[in-house]
Structures are given as C-alpha cells and as structure tokens.
Structure 1
Amino acid sequence: MLCTADLSKGNGPCFSMGEKPLGRMSLVAGLLVTSLFIGLVSADQGDVDLLVEVQEAPDEPWYEPGNPLVLAPSLVNNGPEISLMVNPACPFVFNVYNASNVMVVNGSSSCPAREQGLDLFAGERLDFPLMEWSMKDADGAWLESGTYWVELLHSAGFSHTVVATIQTPVQLPNSLVFDVETTQRTGSSGPLLYMVNLHNPTEQSVDLTSVAPCQFEISVDSVHRLGSSCIGEVNTLMPGEVILVEQFTASPTSAVSITTPGENLAFALTGQEDISMSSSLSMGLELSGNEFPAYGPGETLVSEVALSPSLDESVLVEFTSSCKAEMWIVDDLGQLVYDSRAEKTCMDIDLELTVNSDEPERLSLPQWNFFDMNGCRVGPGVYTVVAEVPEHGLTTSEHVRFHSSEANPCVDDDIATLEATLAWQDEQTLRIEAIVHNDEPYHLRMAQPCTFEIAFLDQSDEIVHAYQTLCDAYDGRKILLPTSSEPLQFDALDVRMIQDGTPLLPDGFYTLKITVLSTSTSSMTLPFAWPNDFGEAEDEGESLPAPDRFEIVGTWVGLLTEEGTCYMLENDGATHLLSNARTLPSWRPSSELQGVYIVQTAEASPACGDYLAPSVEVVEVRMEASNAVDESASTVVPDEPPTVIIEPTSTAPMLTVIVSASLLSLLFAAALTNEGLRLPATAAGLWFLGLIGKTHETTDGRYQRGRLMGYLTANPGCHFRALMSALEMSNGQITHHLRVLEAEEHVWRKNDGRLVRFYPLTNKLHPDTREEDLPVPLLSPDPNSLQGKILNLLDHDGGLGQFPTQAELAKRLEKSQQLISHHLRTLQKYGLVERRKMGVKNRYKLTREAVFLLETNDDFSHDERA
C-alpha cells in the first residue's frame, strides 16, 4: 500500500497499488495548490505592526554617550495567524542617514545571511530585547555631532524611523583655553550676560579646520538647548588671539551650565529657586541699518522689539513706565559701551496693549551710531546687543560685527611694543621673526584682516614695494598681549625676494619697515641689502681697509631737495652731510638734539648728491641731549644768533642761502609725504625767499599758468604730485602758480587722504559739488599687464554677480598673493578697484570709473575677459 500524508492533519489515507488513484490524486493536487496560496498569505504584513517605544528619554533635546537612544521594539499581529521569514542572526539592525539623506551606517552589511520561520498567532504581541544605538560608524568611530534619521529595520521588512540629535565627544586642541565671563548693566538687578571666549595662548597659530562639529550644551534652570559652535566661525586662531564664541542672557538667580562634548569646558553656576511666573509673551529682537552683514563707519544700528503671545490667544499687556523697552550694548571684552537709560528719563504712564498672534507688537529702541558713552567711536569687533522689557521680565540678545580700518583718535598710539629680527634662510628667502609685548596685559585690536604690513624703503625713504601678511580674512580680531617678561611671538614670516623669476627689488641697500595693523599702530625698521652680498668686494682675497672713524659734535639740520631730505651738521667750521646710519636702525637725526657722534666716510646719499661737502655714515651715538634752552635755569646765556660757517668752495653762495633757510626746511621735510602740509609749507618757503628778493610777473609765468589750466581742464581732479610730473615743474613753481590761480578763483582744491586734488572752478565743478559727482583722472593700464588682467577678471566676474578674493585672484592668475596685493593696492589708489567686506572675507569689485574705462577703451576686448 502506498500512504500519503494529509497536508492539513498529518495522517493521510492509504490505498492499494492496484486501485485507480485518480480521485485521490486530484485531492492531493488541490491541496498542493492551496498550500501555495497559504504561503502567499503568510508573506503579507498588512496586519502586523512594528511598535517602537523610546526608553528613558533624556531631559536634554539631544542624546550623548551617557544617555544614548534606547528603543523597545515589539511585533503585534492584528490579523489571523501568520508566518514570517526572519534572520535569526540579526532580527533588528540600525540604518542611519545624515541631514543630507546620505546613509552613514548600513547595519545590514555586517549581518550573516540566515533564514528562519517566525509564526505569530492572531492577536499575539512579541516583545524583543531593547535596542541601543551606539552612535558609531562601521569602524567604531564616533559619528559627528548633529541630527540624524535613525531607522530600526526588522529582518522581515518592518521599519521605524526616529529623528535624533546627538552630541558625541569632540577633541579640541589641548592648547586652547575657554573662559566664561559675566557682565551686567551698571546699577541694575536685571539679567546677566554670559560670554564664552576661546583663547590661543601659544606662540603658534592653531588650525581649526580639522576639528569635528561641536556645539555648546547650555542649561538655564530646567531649559536645555544647544548653543553656537565651540570654535566660532574662524579656521585659524592666531597666536594670542581671543574670540567670542557664545553669548546669552539669564536671570541672576538662575542655575547655569555650559559644557562642550568631551568636557573641554565644564562651567556651572548654582542658582536660587526662581518663584517668578512664566510670561505669556515671547520676545524677539530685529536689527537693521546695514548694507552688508557687518556694520561700518557711518552706518547706524536700528533695532526694535517684537512681542508675540506664547500661545495662539491674544494677550493684554499693561505698561506703567514710559521706558517700555530698553537696550544696552557690550563689546567682546565685556565692557559696557552703550546704555539707553543713560539718555532718557522714565515717566509713569498707564498703557494697555493687546498683543495678537497674527501680528507682533513692535516697540522701537534707540538708534546707535557705534560711539561709546564717552563720545569715542568704538573699535572693530563683535558687540552684543541686549534688549529688555523690564516690566515683564523679558530679555533677549543678538550680536553684531563692526568693521573699521580708519584711524581712531581715542586709541593711544604705540601701546604695544614691536620687536623684530631679520635673517637670510637662503639666497632668496628673507625670514622675519616678530614679537609684540606690553608692560601690562592688554588686548590688541587688529584694524585690518592682516596682522602685519611689510614695506621696503630705498635710501630716499620711498616705498618701493609693500604688502600685508598673516591674514585671516576678517578684521576686528583681538590678541591678548602678555607682559614684557612674556612677549608674544608670531609665526615666522618668509619673504621670497624672487617671484615668478622677477626680483621684488633692484639691487641696493634697503630698509624693511614692519607695522602692526592694529588700532594702536607700532612699527620697526631693519636695514638689509639685496642681494645679500650686495656691496661686498668681488675679490674676497683682497681685503679692503676699514675706513677711518672720527668724532663730530653738533645738531643735524634737514635740507629739502628733489630727491628727499639731506641732513647736514656743522662741526668746527666743517660741514658734514649724512649718508646713512645703517647700523643704527632705531636712530633718526633730529634738529632738536645735539650730540656726539662717531662717523666714517661714506658715499653721498641721493638726497645730498648736489652738494660738495663730505658725506659720513653714523656708526655710534656717544651722547645726545636736547638743545632747548631751560628758561628756569639760573645761568643766563648771552643771546648769540646761530651762525653757520662753510669753507669757501665754488658752491659757497648756494650753500649759504640753503643753510640760512634750514629751519624752514625742517617743516618741508615733515610735510614731504603729505600734500595737505606740503603746499602751505612750500608757500611759506617762497614767502621767506621773497624777503631776500621779490619776484615780479613775467610772460613765462602767465604761459605756465595757461598750461596748468589746460591740463586741469582735461584732467580735473589731478593731484599735486601728478601735476608736477605731467607739467615738469618744480615744487616751488607748481605751488606758486596754483596759489595765483586759487587767488584768482580759477581753480579750487579738495583733500583726499594724503593727497590734494585740484579742479577748475566751473558751474559744474565747484566746492559744493557732491563727492561722488567729482571726476577722478583715469588710469590707463596695459590690458596685457598684470593690472590689466586683474581689471579684466573683476569685470568678467562682476557681470556674473561674483566678486573674487585676493587669494582667488592669485590662484587664477597663477601669481603670488604678495604680488596681487601690491597691484590691488595700486588700483585702489587710482580709484579703479574697491574692497568690500562680504561675509567674513574681503572681496574686490570695479568702481564705476573702472567700468567706464573698460567700456570706452578698445584695447580691453570683451572676448578676452575670462
């Protein structure tokens, strides 16, 4: 007999081999087909639900290793009995996606392939062990802090997703130091302002680009939130730099906690029990008045408070004081710079306002023009604006950034002391090492995005090349200077003297001037020669005898020449001209000092090239003292007019006249680089010479003034030195003719920084003309030159609404940043390029004069701008 199993009961019928099993075989076939449909029903999950409960959620709105995300999963069958295929090795896995919907953890990748049946009876609930998310990737490393989508996936295909914000440990550089300060409005019991600063006390810059995302964990009483970035918005911290990274307000009685993941900072302040009732209002602070993200000189901070009901219902608000909303402002050093209560008197009122949910109630706050309570303009930096509604206990704060590179008369000069050394690293690299210190700890405020300006001066003290370095893309940085016993040393500066195969300087002797670009400037000069062996004897086998040294006594007097200032000294009836003091970088000749000097014969300086007197180099200053007469001295010194004796030579008459005017020449030397001072100084010199011999009008004078008027008509706005160069006139000539034309009201002048520009006086060009309507002579650079290529690039990008940085221009033109910086400064000087602060970077764009120049110049082809 052949027996078959009953698929439904497990005890099948039996039949003999001789019987015809046709009917029974049909029954078996039907049952087999039925079993296929039963399998399809068991794969249907419509009646099975995956329930997930979050276990022991933390009080904070984030998870951390000490309080991880723990899920309790369950399968519930709401339908008939069902059979599921599962993986017994991994019943559940975690799949994790970041905020950009990119999978960062694939839990199924490490699961072995297994299959097993799972039967669920009708109405059955199956609870699984708790699932804890480790917050790590496949390699066991912590995921970055942030918000993630965590998917709990069952091997049968069920899934549940939880949105979780996590704080994982972050290792900040050990050298950095956090500091928490509190400040409060003077004489007030109002809120405390908490300020968190990050300080780099080392002598090396600290790179922050590799630091993982990090946010402060802030708790005020029972309210917990994530704050701003632990490292602010900078990529590098300069030596000694201090930045404000977090600020917020809280009640003086509140318990406050500020920590970072990994506990680089753990600040806690215990408070008192606050019995005040929670307000039915919420408060916002709205700021405006700036064109760019940062405010600048001439702009005004405009602010107002916006009150809204905490719920969707309208709220009746009562005010009994006219000072409904107040504002106070603190700088990033914690100093109060503005208080609105100091400017007004509060009066009793009886006012009721209805605050609706659809439209907030706005309360205006006083405007602030970035001047402190002493009437001084504030320095560049970050300022925290705190707004209050005192009667209702509401407070909020925002921070603004103020940029200004203008000189601030309220800041003392030379607060910081700069010291620097020069050394050749190789034949083409000059290394500068600089330190800055102060007698007492002091926060040095940087006025530019760069820390130093390096300038190379020739022997006539004219700048041959200059650039800025140690730049960090934003100004207003503050650097904590320690005492003089612990000076702050900056990163070494390497200057490549040959760039793109071209030397920065012609061969010769130079002075390197390094200046700290801070609100209180400090400079230092260092002599050097380029190349390093310039001036040395070509034949080293022949040693040149050292020049004889001798002593001279007297006072140096400056004579103004076309090449600069020539200093001379009378000693025992002999005249000596100053060649240089190369070995004494900190010494300068002065007409107010009389001294004893050790000198040696040297070649004449360019400024003294026209004089026949011998030139000397000062190698040692034995003594110097003021030559001013002490009026309180008991000894009466007979009045003797100062006389200067010059040995007779072929040029004795000329020297006599020059020396007699030497006192006025001192004024000319001081005004040499400032056209606003140079013009009156030159005019005073002409008046003095007029005492010796009066001049009279000549036909040539009228002709020269005609040339001058014609040139100004064609080039209105030309400055003083450009006029001298274009018309080939001397300093005295151009000054005399300009004074005559001004007296006759044919021309007028306008100061432009250190320059003085001149315009013909017409009905369209007069002193009341708006500055933006005044023309400026255009520069016409070669489009194939580097300046022309810079203009082409800026014109091309400007048409696309893009404005490159100095670094981007250097990369695209394949030139060094030093070279690009030099040409950008030149183009700015001629009014063709302007620098704008956009975000945290300085970007460059063409001025309207430059756009006009490119559009009207056929040499600049639009096809070449790329």
Structure 2
Amino acid sequence: MGEKPTGRILFATSLLMASLLAGFASAEPAQLSLVVDQPPSPQQPWYDASHPLVLTPSLVNTGEAITFDINPSCMFVLNVYNATGVLLVDGSDACPDRTRGEDLASGETRVYDSVEWNMKDEQGMWLESGTYIVELLHTTLDLSYVTNAVIQTPVEVPTTLAYDVQLVQRTANSPVSVALVSLTNPTSEPVDLQALPACVLEWHVGEQAQLGSPCFGQTKSLMPGEVLLVDQVSIHNHELTTLTVNTPGNTFTHTTVLQAAQAPLANVDASLTIEMTNNAEPLYSQGDAVANEAVLTTASVGEQTLHFTSSCKAEMWVINDLGRIVYDSLAGKSCSDIDLEMSLSLEEPLAFTLAPWGFFEQDTCRVDPGVYTVVVEVPEFGLVTSQRIQYSDVQANACADASSLSLSTTMDWVDEDTFQLSPSLSMDGEARYIRMNQPCTLELDFVNDDQESVHRFMTLCDAYDGRKVSLTPTANTLQFNTFDVDMVQNGVDVLPEGMYSLNIRLLSSTPATTTVEMAWPADFTLEEPVNEQETVTLEQFEITGTWTPLVTEEGTCHVLNVGETSYLLSNARTLSSWQPLSTVEGIYEVQAADPAPECSVFSAPSVEVVNVVLERSLEVETVDEAPLQVEELQEENAQATAVVSAVTVVVTASLLSILVMVTVTNEGLRLPATMAGLWFLGLIGKTHETTDGRYQRGRLMGYLTANPGCHFRALMSALDMSNGQITHHLRILESEENVWRKNDGRLVRYYPLTNQLNPSTDPDDLPVPPLSPDPNSLQGKILNLLDQDGDLGQFPTQAELAKRLEKSQQLISHHLRTLQKYGLVERRKMGVKNRYKLTREAVFLLETSEDFAHR
C-alpha cells in the first residue's frame, strides 16, 4: 500500500515536467532575430570562384530563455532566385529530415558556421554570370536573410574566336588612353554566339575593378572573317598603372602597363559625363551630326572652384572600331592662355558645349558605317569619359578603293526551277576591312538583251547587316553562304523566257560586282540571229542599163546607168571573165556590195554583178526600128517582110518580157522602162493635147495634194490608170514643174511642188503617206496576215512572218519598219519576243479599202 502514494507522486511530477517543456517549445519566436555578416568581395564589385559569397548567420534572443527545434544536418540553407524571382536552387532539397532542440538564453547571441555559395545549380553546374537573389533561410524557424549578388562564373571561350586589345592615344605623350577590345572569327565558318553562356568582361585598372560589356557583343552570330568591337574603356594615367582585361575564368586575359601622366593635374572632386543634345539614342545616319555637351557634376556638398589656364577647356575626339582616330577637335585649333575660375557645386553642374561632328574625316571623306567611340576629356583636371555610338550609311563610300577586290560566284541548277549561287569575295594586296552597310548582303539584278532591268531583289539579309569583315594576305577570301534562287514563285515565272545577264552587287561601303550570263529557262536558246548587213547583200535583183566609165584618181569607176538612177560597180568579181563595156546594154542580176576604191568619191549605191542575163551591142538598135518601116518593107518584098516581122516580134517580145520582170520589182525603173517600151512599140509620138488629158492630170494633182508622197504603183491603183497613162501624165506634170519625185528604196514617191514640199525639204519633214491600197505588194500581204491573225487573237513574230511569206527575215524586217514608220503596225514585247499587230488606223484603212475588203 505504501507503494501507491509513491506512484501517484511520480505521475504528477511527469505531468508537471511535460507541461514545462510544452511551454518552452511553444515560446514566441518573435523574440529571436537573424543577423547575417556579409563581407564585400575584396577589390571588385562581384563574386567569382576565387571570391565566393560567404554569409555568417547569428541568432539573437531579445526575450526570455527559449528552446526551439533545429535540423542539425542543415540549420541554414541557401535558396537562389534569378532576377525575375524564379527559384533556381532550393537548398532544403538536400537536407535530411532530422530534429533536435536548441536552447538560447535571454539576451544571448549565437554565431553559427558560415555558409558559402558555390554559384552552382542543383546539378553541380556553374550558373551563368549575372545578378541573383540569394536567400539565407533557417530551416525550422521563419527567419531569413535576402541579398543581391553579382557573380562571374568561368566561361570557356571557343577556340574559333580570338580577342584583340588596342590602346589608342591622341598623341604619343597623351595622358589619356582608350582601350578597345575586339572579337574576331578567323575561321571560314560562322560561330553561333547565342549558344555561348552569358559572359561579361572584367576590367582592372590599378586597384580599381569594374565590369564591362558582354564578352560576345550583342549579335547572334559571328560570320567568317568578321571583326566585332565589344567594349572600350577610357583611362587617365595619373600614375604608373597596370591595365588588365579578361573573361571570367581567365580563358582570355590581356595585361598592359600604362605610363604615368607627365604634367601634374589639378585636383577636383567631380565626374565627367557626355550628354547628347540632338539624339535620344546613340544612333546616327548620313546627314546627322554629333552634338554633345561635356557635363561636370560633383557629389560634394560644398562649392568647388575650378581654375582654367587654357581656352581648350573640354575637347572631343573620335575613334573608329578599328582603333583609328577619325576626328580630333584640337586638330587645326589654337589654344590660348587664359585665367578663368568657374564654380562647381551639387546644385550647379558645369556644362561645356562641344563642336559638332558631321561624320567626316579630316580629309573631308565620309566615314564608313560602324561603331565609333566618342572620347570627351577636360585635360587640365584629368577627367575623361567615353561613349559608343552607331553610324549607318547605305551608300557606297566615294573614297573607298575597290581596285583590289574581286567578287565572283559559281552557279549550279538544282532543278528546273531553282539554281544555286555560291559567291565569294577575294582580295589582292594588303589587309583591309569590308563594311556591309545594308541589311542585305547582295543585290541580284536580271538584265535582258535590251539592257533593261527585268527583276531585282536583295538576298542574304540579316547575315552581314552592319558588320565589318577582315581580309588579310593569308585569309584573303570571304566565302558567303550558298543560297538558292527560285525562278518560279507562287506558280508564276519571275522572268520571261530569254537570255539574261545576272548582275550581282556587294552591298558594302566598298562596291564590288560580278556578272553571270544565264538563260531562263535553263534550256532556252535564241533563234539564229539575222545579220542585217549580210542579208541585204544576199538579196538579188535585176536591172537593165548601160555602162559609163569615169576616170578618178584611184582608177576607172564603172557606172551602170538605169534611167535616172546610177549604180557603181563593186570590186567584187563573182564573174571573173566578164568586164563592163560602154558599147553594150544588158540585163544583169546584181546584189548590194561595198563600192570599189575607184568609186569612193561618189555617193550612189554600189552593186556586184552576179549574173549577166542578156547583153547586146548598142549598134544593133537600128534593127529595132524595123517595126516602124513595116509598110515599106511589105511593098518591096512580102517574104522579107515576113522574115523581118518575125525577127522583130521575137526580139521585141524578149526585151519587153525582160523589162517587165525588172520593172515589177523596182519603181525607179518603171517610168523610164515604160517610156522605152512604148517607144519600142511605136506608141509614143507627137499628139495633140486633149481635154481628157488635162482632166486626168487634174485628178492626179488633186490626189497628190491630198496624199503627198504616194508612190507610183499606188497612184495607178488609186486613180485606175494604166502604166502608160500614169507615166505620160507624170512626165508632163514634172516637165511643167507641178510635181517632183523622190526615190525611197525601190519605190518612187511623188509630191506636189510647193514652198513647203520641194526637193530641198528635209526628208524627215516630208509627210508620211497614208496606206497605199496594194494588196499584192509584200507590205499588203503583211497587213493581210496581221489582220487575219489579229481576228484570232494571235500576233506573229518577225521570224514567223518571214516563214509564212517565204521571204528572208531581213526583208520582212525592212517592210515592218516601214509600216511602223507609217503608223500602220506596232511592235509589242510579249514575253521575250517582239510581236506585231495592226494599229487602229490600219484596221480602219483596211476595212474601207475595197481591194483589201474582198480578199
């Protein structure tokens, strides 16, 4: 029994202890605070593998003694977020689930082990360089510490890229230096920069450190041979200084020593900035000018006095992206001594207006497009700053020398509708840079045989936009991307059929072009070209006449007299055994030829005799008079009369048939031949003038007045006169000086003789005659064919007309040009061929002409 009270006491005691413990565990955690010690990264405003972020946490109890749970495996963890708040690393994921109690006395501060951020993700890979949000979190208490951290993690620069650092000074002893960092792709293949991790250049100038621009610029890729300016830093050498620039992880590093400034500098607590007064963005184009102000500001509360001893208080100079100074405000400027004091305060900064620069070099040549570094300095106080600007210009630079450049390409047909071009640019000579000044790299221009641009477009766009490419003696060829050209787009040919010159132009500040001859379609071939000169010489015709020798300084020129027309005998000798004689008259087959040197002083047409049809002595012409003596011969001897008549008829018929053949083809021979034929027949003699004759000549004059320039055969047809009638009346009108004639090729045109129309009138001022309604002529046949085809919606070519009319293409071409001159035919480009159709005037004249209407 005695044991029973003892057991009740032990039970009561245990309940009391449990209640006490429960009081400690549920104590208010607000009395606890988290304090974190975060030492800055030494000598640089970022963290890296050599200088990681280290956080040392402490818990401070500002209330009564407290007991709380902790996870002994990981009391504190790091959670990492990107700049937009996305959780990248959750430190709690690696913590095992364990718990134990932790006591903290009243007023006690307990320091825990430091927590180091390794700047890696949960897979153990380096996070990209940049700014992150780091949270130090107590795993059991609702306590945390948040900080922003800029990190630089190691980056492997591809071996296909190369960096170059240039140090530029205004003069050899200038205390101001500008360091330029360029990135080059020396290979023949483009490098994808988007696939590379984020990276920022690190600068160390003496004890000062700063982050620069992205290591790989702002472009997506670096083309073969391309040089890209990625960063620049301006330094004033106050003392002997070491300059170092490197990528994170030191894959690339460059160090140089800067000499100290020779002249002592005035001390001022101020900073210098550039303020653009005419552009909100640092983007300029042709016609713009850089107008800046140098602005001095200070963070000091008190007022400072700046003492200037030179009139050149603030100056500007400009460096191109190749490290060459293209502008210096001090060039040609005289600085004078002054004694000037100016005040600078927090409320009142100092601003100096700088001379504008219009993107011209000192030699007045316009600068090339690209990136330029504007450097502004206040020399007496050792203040300097710089800013990059972008200049674009789509025009070729007139000062650029393209003599050493050669653009070429290969062309291969991929299929029936597509060909492939593989252009390249080569250089012969010293190293140079080519600047692409347009969004597209090449311009393609298809030019037809008439030197007309039929189709033009640009290609390789966004590939080399605004880039500069280096060509060196060892790497002197730039191979552009191979690309396809589709000749059929949306089911439509981009070019008509034909032969073309494909002109390819490099769209750079230094122009270069190349040309490729091509056909579309690829198997297109031209019709055999017709040599106009040769075809004319092959056109043979017959003429009848007598020969007259004329002695010149070169020798004897033989002239063939055909009525009122003369022809000169060419040197050509198709008939080697034949010689022209002045004692004979003949009918000859001739063709046009170059004149003989002996006839060079004359302007008459020249012919070559290819065949002698008939020749007879001029002495036997008395025999031709036999028909006039027929009655006398019949009275003397009937038998002789029969014989003579038979001979006369045969001779006369032969001569007349030959003359008819000749005159049919040449109106210039028609009038004299008709008169000669009528003379042979004894039909022309002295006759008395009749009223009918005057009436017919009146008709003739009226028609010529209304239709000046009408030719002989058209007059016959229009006035319904015979060959003899028209010849007789024209001869009388010419003798009375009422009309005059003009040879037009094989035609003889007649005009009324007036003050405005006379033989001295310029041929270009003579009126164009209307359609001569002669359907049987070659021109009439051409008009008939064009009329028939036009009704069917067809328009023949010159070659098609020649084939259908069985004439040479050159002859058809001559008549088509004549019909065009008269306004009866028009030529139109349909596809790649010239086709012909009637004009509205010609259609009207054909419809109103009875001769054509009944055909």
Equivalent residue, structure 2, for 1:509: 499
Deviation at 1:213, TM superposition (A): 1.5
The amino acid of 2:518's aligned partner reads F
Give the Cα separation in 1 of the matches to 2:309 and 2:422.
63
Which among 388, 394, 406 is matched to residue 399 of structure 1? 388
Is 2:236–2:383's contact at 8 Å kept on the other side of the alignment? no
Correspondent of 1:59 among 43, 51, 63:
43
Of the three residues 173, 182, 187, the one matched with 1:197 is 182
State the Cα distance separating 1:247 from its structure 2 match.
1.1
**Distance across 1 between alignment mates of 2:233 and 2:382:** 15
- Matching residue's letter, 2:320: D
The match for 2:244 among 257, 266, 285 is 257
Match of 2:112 among 109, 128, 134: 128
Alpha-carbon separation, structure 1, partners of 2:474 and 2:207: 46
In the alignment, the residues of structure 1 paired with residue 177 and residue 477 of structure 2 have an alpha-carbon distance, to the nearest angstrom, of: 34
1:154-173 equivalent positions in 2, closer than 5 A: 154-157=138-141, 158-173=143-158
* 1:421-475 deviations in Å (ceiling 9; x for gaps): 1112344432211221212211012221221112223333322222222222785
Partner of 2:323: 334
AA partner of residue 501 (structure 2): T
Aligned counterparts of 1:262 and 1:92: Cα–Cα separation in 2: 29
Quick one: structure 1 residues 692 and 384, their matched pair in 2 at CA, closer, same or farther if it must change by over 3 Å? farther
Distance 1:191 1:569 in 2: 75
Query: What is the one-letter code of the residue matched to 2:235?
Result: A
Mean Cα deviation higher: 251-260 or 369-378: 251-260
Structure 1 residue 30: Cα displacement: 7.1
Q: CA deviation at 1:569?
A: 11
- 1:150 shift after superposition: 1.0
How does 1:23-172 map onto structure 2 within 5 Å? 35-41=21-27, 44-54=28-38, 57-157=41-141, 158-172=143-157
Pair 1:313 & 2:313 matched: no
CA contact (8 A) 2:441 2:463 kept: no
Per-residue deviation, residues 139-176 of structure 1 (Å, max 9, x unmatched): 11111111111111122323222321001122333211
Displacement of 1:415 after TM fit? 4.0
* Structure 1 Cα separation of the partners of residues 62 and 606 of structure 2: 120
Please identify, of 57-66 and 467-476, the stretch whose mean Cα deviation from structure 2 is larger.
467-476
Aligned-pair Cα RMSD in Å: 3.8
Q: Select between 222-231 and 566-575 the one with higher mean Cα deviation.
A: 566-575
Q: Provide the rounded CA distance (Å) in 2 between the counterparts of 1:178 and 1:412.
A: 28
| 2:255 match | 268
Distance (Å, rounded) in 2 between the aligned partners of 1:230 and 1:99: 20
Alignment match, 1:215: 200
2:230 to 228, 237, 245: 245
| Aligned positions of 1:686-725 closer than 5 A | 693=762
2-structure distance, mates of 1:483, 1:572: 55
Q: Could you tell me which amino acid in structure 2 is paired with residue 325 of structure 1? A: A
500, 522, 525: which one aligns with 2:515: 525
Q: CA deviation at 1:697?
A: 12
1:227 aligns with 2:212: yes
- Superposed CA deviations along residues 243-277 of structure 1, whole A, max 9, x for unmatched, are 11111211354211110123342111134578968
Equivalent of residue 487 in structure 2, options 475, 481, 497: 497
Answer yes or no: is 1:298 the counterpart of 2:282: no
Q: CA deviation at 1:35?
A: 4.8
Percent of aligned pairs sharing the same letter: 39
Instruction: Tell me the alpha carbon deviations over residues 6-51 of structure 1, each in whole angstroms, 9 at most, x when there is no partner.
Output: xxxxxxxx7178xxx7x9999987776555433321xx32333333
Cα–Cα, structure 1 residues 110 and 500, in superposed 2: closer, same or farther, change >3 Å?
farther
Match of 1:483 in 2: 473
- Give 1:389's aligned amino acid: V
CA distance in 1, matches of 2:116, 2:604: 97
Matched residue of 2:26: which SS? helix
Between the aligned partners of 2:474 and 2:761, the Cα distance in structure 1 is: 55
| Aligned partner letter, 1:378 | V
Q: What secondary structure does 2:360 align onto? A: coil
Q: Secondary structure at the match of 2:380?
A: helix
Helix, strand or coil at the partner of 1:38? helix
Letter in 2 for 1:489: Q
Aligned residues: 554
Q: Partner of 1:108: helix, strand, or coil?
A: helix
Change (3 A) 1:214 1:35: closer
Q: Distance in 2 between matches of 1:231 and 1:346?
A: 41
8 Å Cα contact 1:203-1:491 kept in structure 2: no
Post-superposition offset of 1:294 = 1.7
The answer to whether residue 164 in structure 2 is matched with residue 176 in structure 1 is no
Q: What one-letter code is carried by the residue in structure 2 that aligns with 1:458?
A: N
Q: Displacement, 1:359?
A: 2.9
8 Å CA contact retained: 1:236, 1:472: no
Relative to structure 1, the CA distance from residue 486 to residue 2 in structure 2 (aligned partners, 3 Å threshold; closer, same or farther) is farther
Which has the greater radius of gyration?
Answer: 2
Contact kept in structure 2, 1:384 and 1:400, CA below 8 Å: yes
State the 1:282 CA deviation.
Answer: 0.9
Residue pair 1:431, 1:494 contacting (<8 A) in 2 also: yes
Q: 1:65 and 1:369, CA in 2 relative to 1: closer, same or farther beyond 3 A?
A: same
Map Cα deviations across residues 775-820 of structure 1 (whole Å, 9 max, x no partner).
xxxxxxxxxxxxxxxxxxxxxxxxxxxxxxxxxxxxxxxxxxxxxx
Give me the whole-angstrom Cα distance separating, in 2, the residues matched to 1:261 and 1:365. Answer: 38
Q: What per-residue deviation string (whole Å, max 9, x for no partner) do you get for residues 202-247 of structure 1?
A: 2222221222221110111111000011121211222211111111
Q: Deviations over 1:532-591 (max 9, x none)?
A: 344499xxxxxxxxx9xxxxxxxxxxxxxxxxxx9999999989xxxxxxxxxxxxxxxx
Moved more, 470-479 or 229-238: 470-479
For 1:318 and 1:215, how far apart are their aligned partners in 2? 39
The answer to whether the Cα contact below 8 Å between 2:236 and 2:382 also exists between their aligned partners in 1 is no
Q: Per-residue CA shift, 1:343-364, capped at 9, x if unaligned?
A: 4321111111111102311111
For 1:449, the equivalent position in structure 2 comes to 439
CA contact (8 A) 1:512 1:528 kept: yes
Please identify, of 176-185 and 74-83, the stretch whose mean Cα deviation from structure 2 is larger.
74-83
Superposed, 1:577-596 pairs within 5 Å as: none
TM (norm. structure 2) is 0.59
Map 1:403-418 to 2 at 5 A: 403-418=392-407
- Structure 1 residues without counterparts, runs of 5 or longer: 4-13, 538-546, 548-565, 576-639, 654-690, 701-866
Amino acid at match of 2:34: L
- Kept in 2, the 8 Å contact 1:204–1:490? The answer is no
| Alignment correspondent of 1:743 | none
User: CA shift at 1:373, angstroms?
Assistant: 0.7
SS in 1 for 2:128: coil
Aligned AA for 1:357? L
Q: Secondary structure at the match of 1:37?
A: helix
2-side partners of 1:166 and 1:567: how far apart? 79
Q: What is the CA distance between 1:521 and its match in structure 2?
A: 1.0
Q: Is the Cα contact below 8 Å between 1:338 and 1:372 reproduced in 2?
A: yes
TM-score, scaled relative to structure 1: 0.58
> In structure 2, do the counterparts of structure 1 residues 699 and 495 end up closer, same or farther at CA, with 3 Å as the change threshold?
closer
Separation of aligned partners in 2, 1:15 and 1:248? 90
Contact kept, 8 Å, 1:438 with 1:484, in 2: the verdict is: no
User: SS where residue 317 of structure 1 aligns?
Assistant: strand
Distance in 2 (CA, whole Å) between partners of 1:119 and 1:230 is: 51
